[in-house]
Amino acid sequence: MTEHNETVERRHSLSTVVSAIAGAGLRIQFLHEHDHTFYLQRQSLERHDGESYRHPEGAPRTPLTYSIRAEKA
């Protein structure tokens, strides 16, 4: 018996997310970029502390995730 699993992912640029928040009439309180992620986004990442992934030591620290908080304006 063959099992079929389907995964759907969507990438939204940071500008699209920020514009949608502003368009909804919300005010951004903060936007933080992080150099780690909780899943293996690309094969070049290394497991760190058993629960997150980061770029290898010496590699440029480019953002992998971000957190954003907004409130009603």
Q: What is the pLDDT of residues 10-63, one digit of tens each?
A: 788 999 999 999 999 999 999 999 999 988 888 999 998 888 999 999 999 899
- Is 51 within a domain? yes
- Is 39 within a domain? yes
38 alpha-carbon distance from chain centroid:
9
- Is 18 within a domain? no
- Is 20 within a domain? no
List CB contacts of 73: < 8 A, sequence separation 6 or more.
25, 26, 27
- Is 6 within a domain? no
Q: Are 69 and 28 in contact (CB under 8 A)?
A: yes
Range of the domain at 53: 31-72
Tokens coding 27: 């005010």
Please state the domain count of the chain: 1
**pLDDT score, position 59:** 93
CA dist 12 and 18 (Å) reads: 10
Global pTM value = 0.71
